[in-house]
Structure 1
Amino acid sequence: MTYTLITANRNYSSWSLRPWVLMTALDTPFKDVIIYFEEDNYERFREFTPNGQVPCLKDNDLTIWDSLAIMEYLAERHEGCWPEEAKARMWARCAAAEMHGGFAPLRNICPMNIGVRARLHKIEKPLQRNLDRISELFAQGLESFGGPWLAGDTFTIVDAFYAPVAFRVRSFDLGIGPIGREWVDQIIAHPAMQHWEAQALAETEREIHHEEEIAAVATVIEDFRV
């Protein structure tokens, strides 16, 4: 079994982070390929994936696209991707699917930019609703299944799905309650996340659209990138 995972910039690509951090945390071997964002990557990405987006997983002659599909594909082949206990697994699937299909205000207003710390100009109701829901989800998972991870005592797909949220919370100092912040601190300290962050900070590539997104909604206080 030979996996190749194709991703984009460590600093910006939240969708790329999800399967990468899962596979790294679970010690699933793969070839790591990075294709950096440019002004228009669609046709370039279409050379290896039908939707023209990252991430994309190659398993020999098979192509698996979309982060959730990649996670499910891996879960069919490797133990530990989802929680073993049925109730925790059900909750984890629901929470991961909610992240995959929702939280548009958080995604749009607080883009992932690992290297910066920024102060939002304002927090409007749609974003606050997202933050309240994430706080509720994190507390529910951690209290229901005993922690220290969202669905129990092991790192699983649901933690990987919310990994970009952890970087967003830190970058914009978002309020998600003490229980949620404890999980944020824990996942950022995970060796896989530390490895990803180190690569993000070392990148010299800048994608102007992502930089403009932050400038439009926040004041950058610190920038830790090279």
Structure 2
Amino acid sequence: MSEPYEVKFRLPRRRSSVPRARALLYSVLADWGVGQEAAEVGELVLSELVTNALRVRVPNDRLVEVRIARLVDEGVLRLEVSDAGEGKPEVRKPEEDETGGRGLLLVEALAHRWGYERRACGIGKTVWVELKAPDLVSERDGVEIAALAVRVGQRVRVWGEWRTVRSVGTQQRTSGGLTVVLALDDGSAVRIDAAEPLTVRDAGVSSSPRGREDAPG
């Protein structure tokens, strides 16, 4: 997995920090080419996280830290908000007549994954949320080649995710033609017509046919 690209900033403990965080996120996501739908979800989630951090009972001179990161290989946007408060963020299910308390309930509904952790340096905690953002996986990050040309060590995009090819084999079909069998790093295998295109990246590519073998029919 590639290293995430990231942006970090700090916000004072005042209400104006919520729209400020949204504006900064919008600018960052526009630079990254994130689509409107994913950007709107990200703004909503970040608003809830920053709002919760501002409600924590700590001295006013304590800042709220925000980290925005993109994990391109996974097509994931990661948002982190850190505060100096103790306690554990918990999802509440408020009564119908309650006007608040639905922030984390909304975050949980929108998130691909979320959680919290104690800050490694300093006091307080970090609440993080990962959101699916398919636009982060750019077309320029890969090229299309015929399945027969795939080599061991390359990264191939299958089932919406990037996987490393561990071995490449071929099978002769009884009806004629050739099937390519790719063994992947997660233990799965892909069988595909030799002429079908696959999107690949080079990552420790073996340029020789080493690792290719004829698979049993």
TM over 0.5: no
Name whichever structure is richer in helix by fraction: 1
Give the number of the structure with larger relative contact order, counting CA–CA contacts within 8 Å between residues 6 or more apart.
Answer: 1
TM-score by length of 1: 0.23
* Higher Cα Rg, which structure: 2
Name whichever structure is richer in strand by fraction: 2
